[in-house]
Amino acid sequence: MSVSALDLAWLERLGPWGPAGFVVAYALGTVAVIPGSLLTLGAGALFGVVQGSVYVLLGATLGAALAFGLARTLLRRRVVGWWGGRPLFRAVDRAVAQGGWWVVLLLRLSPLFPFAALNYALGITGVRFRDYLVASVGMVPGTVMYVYLGATAGDLAQVSLGRPTGWGPILLNGLGLLATIAVTVLITRRARRELDRYLTPSSNRDD
State the number of CA atoms in the 13 A half-sphere of 10 facing the CB.
7
pLDDT at 9: 67
Task: With respect to residue 28, please indicate whether it lies within any of the assigned structural domains.
Answer: yes
Handedness of CA 50, 54, 59, 61 (dihedral sign): positive
* pLDDT at residue 71 tops 90: yes
Give the predicted TM-score (pTM) of the model.
Answer: 0.82
Q: How far apart (Å, rounded) are the C-alpha atoms in residues 23 and 32?
A: 14
Domain count, the chain: 1
- The answer to whether 49 and 148 are in contact (CB under 8 A) is yes
In single-letter form, the type of residue at position 189 comes to: R
* pLDDT at residue 96 tops 70: yes
pLDDT tens digit string along 120-159?
Answer: 999 999 999 999 999 999 999 999 989 988 888 877 766 5
The 10 Å CB-count burial string (b at 16+, else e) for 160-183 is eeeeeeeeeebeebeeebeebeee
Task: With respect to residue 78, please indicate whether it lies within any of the assigned structural domains.
Answer: yes
Task: With respect to residue 204, please indicate whether it lies within any of the assigned structural domains.
Answer: no
Instruction: Name the nearest CA neighbour of 176 among 197, 200, 155, 201.
Output: 155
Q: Which of 49-53, 55-59, 173-177 bottoms out in mean pLDDT, i.e. has the lowest?
A: 173-177
Domain that holds residue 123: 4-199
Q: How far apart (Å, rounded) are the C-alpha atoms in residues 74 and 32?
A: 14
Instruction: Give the residue, 195 or 9, on which the prediction is more confident.
Output: 195
Instruction: Name the nearest CA neighbour of 68 among 21, 23, 134, 24.
Output: 134
Instruction: Name the nearest CA neighbour of 20 among 48, 70, 62, 64.
Output: 62
Task: With respect to residue 157, please indicate whether it lies within any of the assigned structural domains.
Answer: yes
In single-letter form, the type of residue at position 102 comes to: W
CA angle 30, 35, 88 (to 5 degrees): 85
Task: With respect to residue 205, please indicate whether it lies within any of the assigned structural domains.
Answer: no
* pLDDT at residue 68 tops 70: yes
CA angle 105, 78, 84 (to 5 degrees): 55
- The answer to whether 160 and 52 are in contact (CB under 8 A) is no
Confidence of residue 207 (pLDDT cuts 50, 70, 90): very low
Task: With respect to residue 207, please indicate whether it lies within any of the assigned structural domains.
Answer: no
Task: With respect to residue 206, please indicate whether it lies within any of the assigned structural domains.
Answer: no
Instruction: Name the nearest CA neighbour of 65 among 6, 127, 4, 19.
Output: 127
